[in-house]
Amino acid sequence: MERFKTKRVLIAGLGKSGKSACRWLLNKGASLFCFDDQQMNKEHDPEAKELIGKGLKMVSIKSALEDSFDMMVVSPGFPRTHAVYEKFIRESKPVIGEMELAFCQLDKKAVGVTGTNGKTTVVSKIAHCLKDNGIKGEALGNIGTPLLQAVERQGEIDVFVVEISSYQLETLTTARLSSGCILNITPDHLDRYSSMEEYALTKGLMGRVVVPEGRLYVEEKTLKSWGKWIDHPGTMAFGFSPECDVALVNGTIRRFGVTEIRLPDEFGRAAPHDLENMLASYALLRDLDLSAEDILRSFKAFKKPPHRIEFIREVQGVSFFDDSKGTNVDAVLKAVSSMEGRVLLIAGGVDKGASYTLWIPHFQGKVVKIIAIGEAREKIKNELSTMFPVELCSSLQEAVDTAFRSAKKGDSVLLSPGCSSFDMFRDYKHRGDEFKKIVLTL
């Protein structure tokens, strides 16, 4: 793209997406500058050193504020209140993300998924079904592999299945998806957004990245609650009500008023949120011209990614479950509701701004103890200790030991933090892996 040649581009943050953007822009002849809060660590990162060797210049925040640039590429989650971000907005200079760069040059079929919970499961399920039916589908984006990195080899991919976070939607403007889906909108990231309305508005931006002739599927309760923030001419509802455009009613899937297939009895035992994820996946796969029969056959062989209400083992009659991916209050509600019998909940980490009091009516009669860890533990105790026993622990090891000591035969110990992990762990995967290690030593 000639538009980037000789342009002075500032990269804000040198994580996965920042590095991917750097590689691509260097190949396009841009003059690249980067600042990162962990700059000293990045300069010893082999990938960062390679990029520096190819022309990337690391600069201080002072330089980022004082020097002149043509545009800025931000990493997902870069604070909009940051002085450098505000400078670009003030100067009416473009601020985009790595995913927008990818959308601008993506030539293949693409579908996208956003929502508070379930995104990774749905894009993984769609990619699995495509591959199972001989189509080269790949799950990309927020799930882990930067989209721009995959676009460089798009000749090897038939369908791009893109997981999109609210952070990425903030800087996405190009309509490139043939179909999209909003799974749900529940409290999350309220440490970044000033209100649920602002968060819902950001999720609703999914409408501008689906082509006008495409379809945007929205879960029925989400559409009812937040529909005014969702603007797309092809908006469709999916859910369990007969009037939904794609509906699961009495074990049968109806699409646009036509009965397409009946689910096997084994699907009827799935939790409601799993059925919603299945229905969303089905809707997007049908838009990609897979038959109902082929989709269901592939669904049967699909296994959810780890750390999502994953059974680890039973010890002395106590079952242990890893739901480390449950990083917001609604995800914890879904995890607890899926448990049988009494639950001892391990929760906490970096607080994301929502109130834990939302748990109270759903936990009563089910959760017998909460073991709180991380930075949010005092807040959890303050908000919940009048209704549930809450014990504070300083480490995950201590929390597991405490839960096991307190549990009775038939109980479940559930790690479902309702918080992000960065106070104690690298990410939710690291937190879940550590939990598994501890449980396997009991």
Yes or no: say if 56 and 26 are a contact pair by the CB < 8 Å rule. Answer: yes
* Sheet of 71-74, strand order: 57-58, 31-35, 8-12, 71-74, 95-97
121 is in an annotated binding site: yes
116 is in an annotated binding site: yes
Residue 353: count other Cβ atoms within 10 Å of its Cβ.
15
53 is in an annotated binding site: no
* Adjacent-strand bridge partners of 181: 113, 217
117 is in an annotated binding site: yes
432 is in an annotated binding site: no
Yes or no: say if 377 and 346 are a contact pair by the CB < 8 Å rule. Answer: no
Dihedral, CA of residue 250, residue 254, residue 258 and residue 262, to nearest 10: -60
CA distances from 299 to 109, 240, 247, 272 (A): 21, 19, 17, 16
d(CA 61, CA 146): 25
DSSP string, 98-143: HHHHHHTT--SEEEEEE-SSSHHHHHHHHHHHHHHTT--EEEEETT
133 is in an annotated binding site: no
Tallying the residues shown for the chain, one arrives at 442
Binding-site residue numbers for ATP are 115-121
Binding-site residue numbers are 115-121
